[in-house]
Amino acid sequence: MRRFIFSILSILFIHYSFGQTIKNPIINKDFPDPTIIYTEGFYYAYATNSNIDDKLAHIQVARSKDLQNWTILGDALPEKPSWADRDFWAPHVLFDSAINQFVLFYSGESGNGKCLGVAYAKHPAGPFKDSGKPLLCGEGFVNIDPMAFIDPKTNKKLLYWGSGHAPIKVQEMTDDWSAFREGSKSIDVMHPGQEAQYDKLIEGAWVDYHQGHYYLYYSGDNCCGPQASYAVMIARARNPFGPFERLGSNNHSNRSVLLEKDSLWLAPGHNSIFRDPKGNIFIAYHAIPINPNTGKPDGYGRVALIKRIHYQEGWPKIEDASTYSAPLTLADPHIFYDNGTYYLYGTGAPDGFQVYSSVDLENWTGPVGRDRNGYALHKDHTFGTMGFWAPQVFKYKNRFYMAYTANEQIAIASSDSPLGPFTQDTKRALNGPTKQIDPFIFFDKNKAYLYFVRLQDGNRIYCAELSNDLSQIKEETASECLRADEPWENTSDARWPVTEGPTVIKHAGLYYLLYSANDFRNPDYAVGYATSSHPMGPWKKHRGNPIISRRLIGEDGTGHGDLIQDKQGNLHYVFHTHFKNGQVAPRKTAFIDLKFEHSGNLPIIQVDSNSFRFLTVGIK
C-alpha cells in the first residue's frame, strides 16, 4: 500500500483555550483505527497495518510530546504471529500494572477468517510478542476490532469486539489477558439495524467510564473506499455488560450519531478516547480528507485526527474549539454558600488558596479571588510559607473567616468578603503542643468548637473549644475523638495510621462527624462517619463504614471533603479523588449527594452513588 500524503487544503487548525493549537490531521498519512494512550511522558498512537517508508508495518506506532508533532517509530509488532499472515487491524494498547506489561489487542487473518490476538511488551513502542495463539477465530469479519477494558468498579478485565453485521460483544478475560475466563460467556451489548443511518454494520467499540456511566462508542457502516459512509455513535449503561441505551432512544430521535462527515472530512470513525495529563478528554479517529476545491477526496487513505470532547447532561459532546471545561483539581475541597453564590476552596495552589464561584454548583468560574492570580488568601498577608492545605470558610459576627493549614500548623485569617483577601493583623498560628492540621470550626449553643488533626502516633482527630475571638485553642478542653482502629481505616497496615479531614453536622439532635481514613495516597482512602450526643463526644463509628470509597464509585483515593447544604436544603459532599486510578496527583474535585435515612432508631447517612460527578471550571 502506498504512503498517502494529503493536501494542505484539508488541514484544519483548532485553537483550544488551554493554550494549545491542534492542527488536524495530527498524523497526515494512512493511519486507520487509531488508539492513543499517554504513558511515560509521551502520547503513543497505534494504527492498522500500512506502509512506512514503502515497507509494510503490521501495527503502526507513533510518538508525540504535544499531540501535534508525531514521530513514526515503525512497527510495534515486527514479528507476525504464527496463526496469521495478513490484515493486522484495529490495535488497542493498554498498560496493565498488575502484570507490569503493555498489552496489545488486534485482529489478523491467515485465510480461515478473522481472529483476535493478544501480544505483550515491556515498552509502549514494542516490540510486542504475540501470545502464540488466537483468542478467538471465526468466518468473515465478525471477530475484529478488540477493545480491552478494566472495570473501575470491579477490576474485572473485559474484552469488547465485533463487526460483520453481527452484534458487538463483551466477555470477561483472565487476569493476564491470555484467554477468556473459564466459565464466562460472550454477551451481546449492541445490535446493528436499530436506526436508519450508519447502522447496518457496527464495529470499532470503545468503552469509557465517566461519573457512573459506561459509554459505548461505536462506528458504522462502511469505513473505506469510494462508497465510504461512516460515523461514530454513542450509547451508555450503568453496567459494563449492559443493557446499553442509545442516544437516539434516550432523546427519541432514533439517531445516536456523535460524529459524522462535514465539508472537510469524509467517513470519520473508529475512535478511541484518551485523557491528557490535566484530565482533558479527547476523541481520536480516522477520516478521509476532502479537497475543498473539488468537494471530493483525492484518495481514500484514512488520516488520524483528534477533537476535544466533554460530558454534558449525561452524554459526550464534541468540544467547541473556542471554549472548554477543565477538571477542577482542588484537593481537600470546601464549599461555602453566601448570598446566592457558592464559593469553592481547596488545596492546590502553592502560595495560599484560590477560590472559584458558582450560582448552581454545576457551572464554576475562576479563580476569582481578589488577591493576585485569583487568590483568596496569599501567604504575603498571613501565617505560613508552604503546605497550604484544607481550608474552611465561615461567617462569624458579620465577618468572613478562613481556617487553614500551613507549615503543618493551623491558622485563622479574616476578610470582608468570601473572595478575600483573607489577612491577619499579626501572622501567627493557633497554639498547640504538636503539629496539627485539617481544621473545621463548628458553632453550637454559643460555643465555637475546633475539630482538627494532631500528628502524634498517627493522624488522630481531636476536638477543642475556641476562645470567643477565635484566637486561642482552650487546651484544657482538647480531647481525642477518633483514631484509626478498624480494618478499613488502615488497609496497608501502616505504622502511622491516619484519620483526618473532619467535618461536622447536627441532625435530629445528634452530631455527625465525617472523616477520612488511610493515607491519602492509598487507593483505599475513604470516608466514614461517627455519631455523638455531644459535640465533644464520645463518638461511635457507623457500622456501615466506609460510606464513600473506590468500591462505591470506581475511583481511587476518595476522601477529605466537606458537607454543603444547597439553596433547596439538599445535602451534598464535596471531596477529592486520585487523578486517575494508578496516579494520585493532581487530585480531582468530586461531588456526590447525601441524605439522612430515618428508617431505624438512628438516622443514617445514605450516599447516592449515581449522583457522583467531577466538578469542572469553564474556560474561555
* CA separation for the pair 452, 503 (Å, rounded): 9
pLDDT at 410: 98
User: Band of the pLDDT at 617, cuts 50, 70, 90?
Assistant: confident
Question: Cα 387 from chain centroid?
Answer: 25
* CA separation for the pair 570, 540 (Å, rounded): 25
The cell for 453 is 488533626
* CA separation for the pair 206, 218 (Å, rounded): 6
* CA separation for the pair 25, 34 (Å, rounded): 12
pLDDT at 320: 58
* CA separation for the pair 403, 410 (Å, rounded): 7
User: Band of the pLDDT at 110, cuts 50, 70, 90?
Assistant: confident
* CA separation for the pair 49, 90 (Å, rounded): 9
* CA separation for the pair 507, 450 (Å, rounded): 18
CB atoms within 10 A of CB 151: 17
The cell for 253 is 430521535
Can you tell me whether residue 247 is helix, strand or coil?
Answer: helix
Name 309's bridge partners. 281, 318
Q: Is 601 left (phi over 0), alpha (psi -120 to 50) or beta?
A: alpha
Query: Strands (DSSP E) along 485-587, which ranges?
Result: 499-507, 510-517, 526-532, 540-541, 559-565, 571-577
Whose CA is closest to 154, among 575, 550, 616, 618? 550
* CA separation for the pair 328, 113 (Å, rounded): 48
Whole-angstrom CA distances from 343 to 366, 376, 451, 555, 564 are: 10, 10, 21, 25, 11
Looking at 33, 208, 489, 500, which residue is catalytic?
33
Name 452's bridge partners. 462
Specify whether the CB–CB gap between 89 and 49 falls below 8 A.
Answer: yes
Evaluate if residue 18 carries a pLDDT over 50.
Answer: no
Residue with cell 479517529: 285
Residue with cell 488511610: 518
pLDDT at 325: 62
Whose CA is closest to 284, among 23, 34, 11? 34
Whose CA is closest to 214, among 194, 228, 234? 234
Q: Is 203 a catalytic residue?
A: yes
pLDDT at 16: 47
* CA separation for the pair 279, 326 (Å, rounded): 7
User: Band of the pLDDT at 321, cuts 50, 70, 90?
Assistant: low
Of 10-19, 58-67, 434-443, least confident by mean pLDDT is: 10-19
Q: Is 466 left (phi over 0), alpha (psi -120 to 50) or beta?
A: beta
Evaluate if residue 2 carries a pLDDT over 70.
Answer: no
DSSP labels for 415-430? ESSTT--BB-SS--PP
Specify whether the CB–CB gap between 191 and 244 falls below 8 A.
Answer: no
Looking at 203, 221, 319, 371, which residue is catalytic?
203
The cell for 50 is 500500512
**pLDDT tens-place string over residues 183-231:** 999 999 999 999 999 999 999 999 999 999 999 999 999 999 999 999 9
Whose CA is closest to 6, among 369, 289, 280? 289
**pLDDT tens-place string over residues 347-392:** 999 999 999 999 999 889 999 999 999 999 999 999 999 999 999 9
DSSP labels for 303-339? EEEEEEEEEETTEEEEPPTT-EEEE---EEEEEEEET
Question: Cα 393 from chain centroid?
Answer: 27
User: What rounded mean pLDDT belongs to the chain?
Assistant: 93
For residues 602, 603, 604, 608, the Cα torsion angle rounded to the nearest 10 degrees is 160
* CA separation for the pair 617, 620 (Å, rounded): 10
Can you tell me whether residue 362 is helix, strand or coil?
Answer: coil
pLDDT at 396: 97
Q: Is the pTM of this model over 0.85?
A: no
Whole-angstrom CA distances from 118 to 35, 88, 220, 335 are: 15, 12, 24, 47
Spell out the domains of the chain, with CATH numbers in brackets.
8-326 (2.115.10.20), 328-619 (2.115.10.20)
User: Band of the pLDDT at 292, cuts 50, 70, 90?
Assistant: confident
Q: Is 227 exposed, middle or buried (0-12, 13-18, 19+ CB in 10 A)?
A: exposed
**pLDDT tens-place string over residues 24-83:** 899 999 999 999 999 999 999 999 999 998 899 999 999 999 998 899 999 999 999 999
The cell for 433 is 503542643
Phi, psi of 313 (to 5 degrees): 55, 35
Specify whether the CB–CB gap between 556 and 577 falls below 8 A.
Answer: yes
Write the single-letter amino acid at 485: D
Query: Strands (DSSP E) along 397-509, which ranges?
Result: 399-406, 409-415, 436-444, 447-455, 459-465, 479-482, 499-507
pLDDT at 113: 85
